[in-house]
Amino acid sequence: MSPSTAWRRPYELLLHELQQKHGGEIIQPSEEASSAYGAGDYIGPASPSLRFTAEDKPFFIELSREHQLHIYAIGHTPAEFTLYPRGLVDRIEALLGIDGEVRSHNPEFDRHFSTNTDAKDKSEQLRKTEVQELIRSLLPFVFVRFHEGGLELARDIGPDTDLDVSAIERTVTTLARLLVIAS
């Protein structure tokens, strides 16, 4: 099995196990999507995805072309922004005061996370202590996006990533709770 496809089997097993526990529908990619994926185009998921309900909320899981596991909690949040763990450049910009980011009013939280939003008044959710604690509990992640359609979390995966169902279920439970608090 090549390194570029080694993640597929554990991912597909994860989807089947989640489906057995929560029901839902595994959606197979179309041949057109799979071919476009190989050519570098995106016209839909190139790997199987799962729609299911957990914590009385609809969820969707897919694998992106960047080999990131995306978990979507479908609902509504009044704010639109993306939250990232801070990298070195983010930390330097914050120290120099040139990043211009929305702040949570919690220096410890702001030191560890970077935001991307178009309006400062849309970040009220970040000022809630419970939201900050839930976001921390979701680590490691590439980003968490709050948007009109709900929440999206992206996590890097590879051939050695443990795709433990109970860990994914904890993430789903946390996202469901975050969606309730943020709406």
For residue 56, give both structure tokens: 């009385």
pTM of the model: 0.83
Per residue in 31-49, pLDDT (tens digit) is 765 555 455 554 455 678 9
In a domain, 24, yes or no: yes
Domain residues for the domain of 91 are 8-182
In a domain, 119, yes or no: yes
Number of domains in the chain: 1
- Residue pair 67/37 in contact by the 8 Å Cβ criterion: no
DSSP-based helix, strand, coil % in the chain, nearest 5: 40, 25, 35
In a domain, 86, yes or no: yes
Q: Distance of alpha carbon 142 from its chain centroid, rounded? A: 7
3 pLDDT tier (thresholds 50, 70, 90): very low
- Residue pair 72/56 in contact by the 8 Å Cβ criterion: no
In a domain, 3, yes or no: no
In a domain, 97, yes or no: yes
In a domain, 1, yes or no: no
Closest C-alpha among 53, 86, 75 to residue 149: 75
134 pLDDT tier (thresholds 50, 70, 90): very high
**Which amino acid, one-letter code, is at 92?**
I
Output DSSP code: residue 5: T
Distance CA 8, CA 51 (A): 18
Closest C-alpha among 83, 85, 79, 86 to residue 179: 79
